[in-house]
A = this chain, B = another copy of it.
């Protein structure tokens, strides 16, 4: 279903030869209108790849006609030439689609510090344009994979309108955003201001709360495009819920496919004085390598959770902290609680509840365990 689930969109995914192994590496998503409204959220890393710098300019107008996405090279840390290459990519798409280049967003993912093979990429844009189809969403989702083992798509249906999307990302998943490229489309008839509000509200509690390995990418991009082709303008809350549903679904798939992971870990912080406190504590727990190793070993090591909480500035008293792992309150009042042997750690999903006993606010952060496979994958993956 992917980006072509909503009416008014066509897409394609091809192998342009950017990846040496011949796998699909170029995707094109086109908004055929009647509207071409768009919103975008980008990495908060201050070292931004050329396509991010370009697409931020494109999104300033709230108008996007097409998105070119490539895997096989991030076009990050590539200097002025890298930016020229992104611009040339947008120009080429604009030319073949009969649109202005400033309406073409570009997304890249792959190795940092390497120029893209433009002699393959530019002809690839032409090839992809020739294959655009209302059924091309799946192929587009496949073409943006890097170390992903599966492609990721999601759909939410409204009353006469649809939101659908695709995502890539399998590591370097961390707040603000994860290392991900995400394109979401809708045929709802809404303007860019509504898209922007709904997208920011959704990413704040979905992609921004996925923290696989604490590493933040130079290329993260999440785009939301509206064609208006359904002719329906949904009530805002309903529309925002659908966008959030798709984002949450894709975010959960990203965590489920994180590099080398054997456990998906849901960290639910409750009893926090503020939501900011809850997020800070959740992230601190999510980034604790010792805990992530322990959970890999199916060890419900609550001492690591307390150590991680103790490094934050959140409001709490050490002797009032409570921690449950998979439903067993192994830590009560900062000390030993129920018998840790009661914790069943056999399943892939691990659920940690950290109760700060300091208020009513909550937040949930998702992470993965740390495994030898993660090390192997990332010590072999060259820059």
List residues of A whose CB falls within 8 A of some B CB: 44-48, 74, 76-79, 82, 111-114, 171-172, 213-218, 287-290, 293-294, 296-297, 299-304, 306-312, 316, 318-319, 321, 331, 333-336, 340, 370-372, 374-383
User: Separation in Å of the A181 CB from the closest CB of chain B?
Assistant: 16
Contact B311 A216 (CB under 8 A): yes
| Nearest opposing residue in chain B for A217, CB measure | B307
User: Separation in Å of the A246 CB from the closest CB of chain B?
Assistant: 27
Contacts of A310 in B (CB 8 A): 45-48, 216, 218
* Apart from A214-B288, A296-B375: 8 A-B pairs, beta carbons within 8 A: A45-B310, A47-B306, A47-B334, A77-B331, A213-B290, A215-B290, A294-B379, A372-B376
Interface of A is mostly: loop
* A78-B336, A215-B288, A372-B372 known; A381-B46 Cβ under 8 A: no
| Nearest opposing residue in chain B for A300, CB measure | B383
Contact B112 A306 (CB under 8 A): yes
Query: Bound complex: CA of A239 vs CA of B99, how far in Å?
Result: 73
* A287-B214, A302-B113 known; A307-B45 Cβ under 8 A: yes
Contacts of A377 in B (CB 8 A): 293
Query: Bound complex: CA of A78 vs CA of B303, how far in Å?
Result: 10
| Nearest opposing residue in chain B for A378, CB measure | B293
Contacts of A76 in B (CB 8 A): 303, 306
Contact A335 B300 (CB under 8 A): no
